[in-house]
Amino acid sequence: MFTGQPFTVPEHIEPVPGLADRVEAMYRAGRYRTAMDEVLRQLRRDPANAEAMILAATIVYVSRTATLMAAEPLTREQSASAILAPVAVQCSRCGAFWYAMGTVLPIPNMIVANPLGVQCPVCRYTLCKDCAAAASHQGAAIPCPAPGCSGTLEPAHLPTGRREVLPIDPSEIERVIVARDGPIPPTISEALPAVTTYVPLVADDAPFVIICRSDPSQMSDASAPVLARRLVDGLEHDMLLASGAWDRSTPMRVTGSEDDSDYLVIVVKLPERQPPSAFLAGLMGDHLQRIADAKFEHHGPCWAGLYSADVTGESAALLQAAASDAHQADRLATRTRILPEYVVVATGIPTLDLPAARSQFPHGYPAYVEQLNGSFRLPGYGLNFVHWISCSDGATTQLHLTFLPADQSEQALLAQDLVEPDMRRALGL
C-alpha cells in the first residue's frame, strides 16, 4: 500500500533478485532514464521495497552536471514522480520539493554544503532556500516556526514526504479522468505528467487515463468541482465507470504543469470488491471449455492467460457485481479492472431476451466495444481485452464473451449474439 510517508532505511533490506545489478550497470553507463523506469516500476508494484527506494533516491540525486552529460538524462516527469514522495524534502511554506542524500545516507552530524533548505531536526518543519532567506534575521539561527516546537532550523537532509500526493494503492484505482483548461483536450503524453506527479502511477498506466474535454475558465475553485461532477456522471452514464462513481472520486486541481496549463485530475476508486459467485464461475468455466473444445486455429499464449485463475477469478467477481448493479438499476451496468496484461470488462444486462439486450447498446454492441477499447487506448500497451456479458432475468443466466488478444496473430472472438442481425451480415459474421 502506497502511503507517501517519509522513508526510513530499515535495519534489514530484502533484495530483489538482480535489481541492484541491473540498475547499477545502467547508472554507471549514464542511462539514468532507463534505470529510473526500472525502479519506478518495481516501486509501483511494491511501494514498501526499501532496496528500490534507496536506488531511486540515489538516481534522482544525480548532480545537474552529470545529468546534462548523461546518455539518458532523467526526465522532469520521472523526477517529479509521486512514487518518490517518501524520499522528497518539501518546504512547509511554499510546497517546493527536492531530494537530499540524507535520505539514504543518514550520517550522524552530517555537514551539508550549500543546502537547498533548512529543517527542524525535531519535527522536520522545512523551509526551502528562498523561504528561509525571507525568514532569517541577519544570519541568526531560525527558531522552528511549528507551534509548540523548541527546535532550531538546520540544513535540511531528512525526507518529509509530499503533502499534495494522493496516498492510494494503484490496485484500488478504477480510472483517472483528466481535463485541461480550454477547448483543446491534452494528448496522453501531456496528460500523464499531471497524473504521475500526484498519483503513484507510471507511464505504463496510461490505459487507466480517460481524457475529457473542458470549457475555458472551468478550473477555478468554484467551477472545478462542478466540472468534476459533470465529467464523472457523464462517464458513468456512458457505462465507462461503475455506478456510484462520484462517491468514490477524488478531484485534484493541478496548476503549474509542464505545459503551463491548469488541469483537473479525478481519481476514481474501484467499487468494493465482491466475492466471485460460485455459480457464475461455473458458468464461465463451462463457456471457456466450449471455446477450448472448438479448437480455434490461432489459440496461443493470450488465450492461455484468459484461462488462468487470476483472470477468471477477477472476471467472476466483476461479473457478479455488474449483474447485481444491473438488476438494481434495471439497466445495463459495467465494471472494469486492469490486470497485468489484461483489461477485464464485465457487463450485466437484466434480461434474457436478445433483442432487448441488444437495445441496451444505443449505437450497437460493436460500437460499445470500440468505445471501451478507445477509453483504454487499445490495442496497445500489450493488453488483452476481455468482455464478459451476463444476460439474466434473475432465474436464468446466459453468458457471452468477447476476447481481443494483444497478439493479433491469435484469433479474436466477438459476442455475435449481441450484434444486430443486419450488422452481422454487414460485418460478414
Mean pLDDT of 31-52: 96
Q: What is the per-residue pLDDT for 244?
A: 93
- Indicate if the pLDDT at residue 65 is higher than 80: no
Q: What is the per-residue pLDDT for 257?
A: 60
Q: What is the per-residue pLDDT for 187?
A: 94
DSSP string, 293-309: HT--SS--HHHHHHTSH
- The secondary structure element, H or E, covering residue 165 is none
Residue 39 — very low, low, confident or very high, per pLDDT cuts 50/70/90? very high
- Indicate if the pLDDT at residue 379 is higher than 60: yes
Least confident stretch, 170-174, 238-242, 275-279, 418-422: 275-279
Tens-place pLDDT, residues 101-140: 666 665 555 566 678 899 999 999 999 999 988 766 555 6
Cell of 87: 524520499
CA-CA-CA-CA dihedral for 190, 191, 196, 200, to nearest 10: -160
Peptide bond into 379 cis (omega under 30): yes
Tens-place pLDDT, residues 146-157: 999 999 998 888
Q: What percent of the chain has pLDDT over 70?
A: 93
Least confident stretch, 166-175, 252-261, 383-392: 252-261
HEC per residue, 55-116 = HHHHHHCCCHHHHHHCCECCCHHHHCCHHHHHHEEECCCCCCEEECHHHCCCCCCCCCCCCC
| pTM greater than the 0.85 cutoff | yes
Q: What percent of the chain has pLDDT over 90?
A: 71
Residue with cell 496497445: 380
The torsion region of residue 247 among left (phi > 0), alpha (psi -120 to 50) and beta comes to alpha
Mean pLDDT of 50-70: 85
**Mapping DSSP to helix (H, G, I), strand (E, B) and coil, where does residue 412 land?**
coil
Residue 348 — very low, low, confident or very high, per pLDDT cuts 50/70/90? very high
When the pLDDT of each residue in the chain is averaged and rounded to a whole number, the result is 90
Mean pLDDT of 395-421: 93
DSSP state of 216: T
| 294 or 81, greater pLDDT | 81
Cα 169 from chain centre: 9
Question: Going by C-beta distance under 8 Å and a sequence separation of 6 or more, which residues neighbour residue 4?
Answer: 82, 85, 86, 161, 162, 165, 166, 167, 200
108 vs 121: CA distance, rounded Å:
12
Q: What is the per-residue pLDDT for 102?
A: 65
- Indicate if the pLDDT at residue 394 is higher than 90: no
Q: What is the per-residue pLDDT for 157?
A: 83
